Each structure stands twice: as structure tokens, then as C-alpha cells.
Amino acid sequence: MNYRKDHIPKGTAYNRRPGHSMTPTTITIHNTGNPSSTAAGERNWLTNPTNNRQASYHIVVDEREAIECLPLNESAWHAGDGSGVKSGNRTSIGVEICESGNYVKTLDNAVKLVASMLKERGWGVDRLRRHYDWSGKICPRLMYDGGKWTGWNEFKSRVAAELEAGIVDKAKVYVNDRKIEDGFILEGRVYVPLRAAGEALGAKVSWDNKTKTAVLTK
Ligand SMILES: [Zn+2]
């Protein structure tokens, strides 16, 4: 999934980028409440001249991409709980999950995105909040399940599983312009399959299962 930054300008109408500096302590999950919009559409809405709401969010994710709409060290208006220093608005990064298109894929992307954000900060799923936790709004509404919040519990378990696996993202690997098996990124480092990479470079790769030792010879 592609992650890009397209910050709304300082001075955007209705104080949507208030410019309060923020040291986030949690991540708040939302659904957009809009069944027919993409991440790009939601980003554009923030600077649409017909929008007269004082509402904003840091990141919006859909089946294709994630767009960072405000810097993550500035507050946004997404939690519906005012501007007190301990409010969700002043302490939490707001992530909007789009409802349109391939929602299964969108949710996959959201799980990966949120897991990588937690990992980057050394946080666990205890740092996740619903919009509901701040203001009582039924949001993320597609996780509500009539008050049982089944989808929310599932979402948190999936993020936890992703964190536990430690594999947050795949990495494509090319050797001399030829694509080989995917590697993965763990804690900021790219791991590549040794046999595939070694053999593509004409080396001999052996594995001793007893001593758990790989040997690459060229
Ligand atoms: Zn919300």
C-alpha cells in the first residue's frame, strides 16, 4: 500500500488545521461515515470550499493508499471531545477508514498501517481508541455490530497478530533486474530469502538444520 503526505495548508478554513503541537499518546480509529468516498476524496474534502465543518483527521486509508492529511505532531478535530489538553483531539492521531470499494482490502490496509504505526512508536494495541471512547459517537460505525463491537475486537486482534508476527510489510527484491522471492521488513531492516538471492548471484547456498546454520559460498 502506498503512503503519501498531502497536508492541508495552515489557515485552512474552519480552523481545520489548528496548529496545536501534539505529542500523541494514542491512535483513534474511525470510519468515514461516507459510503462512497475514497482516501483522495476525503483528503480533498478537507480543502473543499463548500465544506463548512470544523472537522479534520490525520490519515485516511482506502483499498489503494493511505494519505496523511495533517502532520502527526499537530492536533486535528476528529474525536468530538473539545480542545482540552487531555482530549482525544489534542492527544490522539485520527485514522479514518474509508467505507467504499473493496472494504476487505481497505481493512487489510488499515490493519497493516496501524500495526506499523504502533510498532514505530513501540506501542501495543492498548494505545488504540475508538472515536466512541472519546465522545460516545457510534464510530467506527462498521465495527459497531449493534453495540457488541465485534468488528472492533477483531480489528484489534488482527493488529495484535500483525505486531506479534513482526512482519509489517513485504519488500520486493531484485537481483540484476530480475525479481526474486519477496523479502520483508522487520524493525526497519529488509530481510531477503538467502537461497533465492544467493543463487540468483551464482552462489551456492547450504543449510544445516541441526546447527541452524546457513552458508553462502561463491
Ligand atoms: Zn469518527
Place of cell 493488529: 159
Gap from CA of 152 to ligand 1 centroid (Å):
13
Average pLDDT of span 55-74: 98
Q: What is the distance in A from the centroid of ligand 1 to the CA of 161? A: 24
Please give the distance, rounded to the nearest whole angstrom, from the Cα atom of residue 29 to the centre of ligand 1. Answer: 7
How far is the centre of ligand 1, averaged over its atoms, from the C-alpha of 53 (Å)?
14
Phi, psi (degrees; rounded to nearest 5) at 141: -65, -30
What is the distance between the alpha carbons of residues 122 and 57, in angstroms, rounded to a whole number?
A: 22
pLDDT score, position 187: 66
Using the mean position of ligand 1's atoms as its centre, give its distance from the Cα of residue 61 in Å.
Answer: 13
Task: Compute the distance from residue 108 Cα to the ligand 1 centre, in Å.
Answer: 19
Q: Residue 139 C-alpha to ligand 1 middle, in angstroms?
A: 5
pTM of this structure: 0.78
pLDDT digits (tens, 9 = 90+) for 163-211: 887 666 788 999 999 999 988 887 678 889 999 999 999 999 999 989 9
Q: What is the DSSP string of 77-98?
A: S-SSS-S-TTSHHHHEEEEEEP
Give the chain's mean pLDDT. 94
Q: Lowest-pLDDT range, 42-46, 83-87, 187-191, 204-208?
A: 187-191
- At residue 165, the pLDDT reads 79
**CA 31 – ligand 1 centroid, Å:** 6
Mean pLDDT across 99-106 = 96
Radius of gyration of the chain (CA): 21
- Ligand 1 centroid, distance to 120 Cα (angstroms): 23
- Is residue 87 over pLDDT 70? yes
Give the distance (Å) from ligand 1 centre to CA of residue 208. Answer: 53
pLDDT digits (tens, 9 = 90+) for 113-168: 999 999 999 999 999 999 999 999 999 999 999 999 999 999 999 999 998 876 66
Whole-number Å distance, alpha carbon 209 to ligand 1 midpoint, is: 51
Residue 49 φ then ψ, to 5°: -60, -20
Residue ranges of alpha helices (H) inside 6-98 are 39-45, 88-91
pLDDT of 169: 73
